[in-house]
Amino acid sequence: MKEDPVFDNPKNVKKIVMGFYLFLAVLMVADLILPKHPFFPWERYPFFYGVYGFLAYVTIVFGSQYVLRKVLKRNEDYYD
């Protein structure tokens, strides 16, 4: 009696993705409702930390792709 793993069934994957979207929506509503205690004035904007995190992620990905690749990449015949 062999059971299928959870992620092999497309219905289960769809349920998990919808759960993530629901959790995201709950967090966004909580960000609007819960009181904030900002240290800097720009922390008062709604969804500031989400936008800040996304921009930091994009900066890291593109920075590593265009800057670090040129520094770390070696020629094809480097070890010959």
| Domains of the chain by residue range | 1-34, 46-80
pTM score of the predicted model:
0.62
Low-confidence spans in the chain with pLDDT less than 50? none
What is the C-alpha separation between 29 and 50, in angstroms, rounded? 13
What is the C-alpha separation between 52 and 17, in angstroms, rounded? 23
What is the C-alpha separation between 13 and 7, in angstroms, rounded? 6
